[in-house]
Amino acid sequence: MTRTVLLTDYAWPDDKVERQTIEGAGFSLVSGPAKPAPAAEIEALAAQHQPDAILTCWAEVSATAIAASPALKIVARLGVGLDNIAVDAATERGIWVTNVPDYCVAEVSDHAVGFAIAWARGLIHFDREVRSGRWDPASANLRRLSELTCGIAGFGRIGRATAAKMQALGCRVLAHDPYTSNAPDNIELVDFETLLASSDIVVIHTPLSPSTHHLINRDAISKMRRGSLLINVSRGGVVDTAAVIEGLASGILSGVGLDVLEDEPRIPPELIAHPGAMITPHVAFSSDASLIELRRRAAEEVVRVLSGEMPEQPRNSPRR
């Protein structure tokens, strides 16, 4: 009997890369809706198709979905974060959970640096002004990046890439990560409160977990430098959106660069209306090259496991 792979959702126009990889290995691919369906619909798809593997992008793969197919061997994330997968449930059932942790390091760090440059040089602000019919160079209140301090919360692959790029622009760079005890030359590892108080630009690169949910909240923002910039290119739930709106209104934050929101795609009108808010629709990971790499590598993990091999990027240790 041909083994079945369920693709729950995908954030690109088609499933050609996944299908080519899966079917090229002799397996069958069943694709769900492109946009992520509610958890109950994913559970129903798993019960209907009894997959041997699940590929998922944004859709929630719950413990119920995992339990729906006794044949299930792997849940492979088309991305980095695992907050949409019931990892513990998979582990208990002897099912691998994998991701592609390094496919978009360049893109996400570029996005963070892009937000920083746009804020420091007023790129988005003045573009909006000119399009509105205002030509007022005398109103410029711009910044020299090489005189600023950038604090990076989360110092993994992407955080380190962002640090190197901000250093190349002349910034002093601070970093905080409870799981990191070493850093490259000229990057200072500090505690979180020191990072907040000492940085003109704070970049969030932490994964979403119970310990990082609302890491940036009212208290954290109150400790930041007045007029600073907050950038989040990690997960929406790491930042309390209501606290950000208050921080902008108070002037503690002069700007935010948000690629992710905790209730996306819903954006509070107060955030949309604020001239210091730069918002992109969860695309920091995306480029032509990164998407092809992501899709191919995630599907290849499925092929490995269904072929009896070990995955290259396991995120758990299944109980067997």
10 phi-psi bin (left φ>0, alpha ψ -120 to 50, beta other) = beta
Residue 185: which of 162, 164, 203, 170 has the closest Cα? 164
What the block records as the tokens of 116 is 């920083």
Q: Which of 41, 264, 270, 293 is catalytic?
A: 264
Candidate list 172, 205, 235, 274, residue with the active-site label: 235
Catalytic choice (282, 295, 304, 315) = 282
User: Hey, what are 9's tokens?
Assistant: 């959702």
* Residue closest to 148 by CA, chosen among 131, 170, 163: 170
Cβ(286)–Cβ(110) under 8 Å?
no
| 309 annotated active-site | no
User: Rounded to whole angstroms, how far apart are CA atoms 282 and 285?
Assistant: 8
Distance CA 257, CA 218 (A): 17
Whether 9 and 58 have beta carbons less than 8 Å apart is answered as yes
Q: Is 282 a catalytic residue?
A: yes
* Residue that has been written with the tokens 């209907």 in this structure: 48
Q: Which residues are catalytic?
A: 235, 264, 282
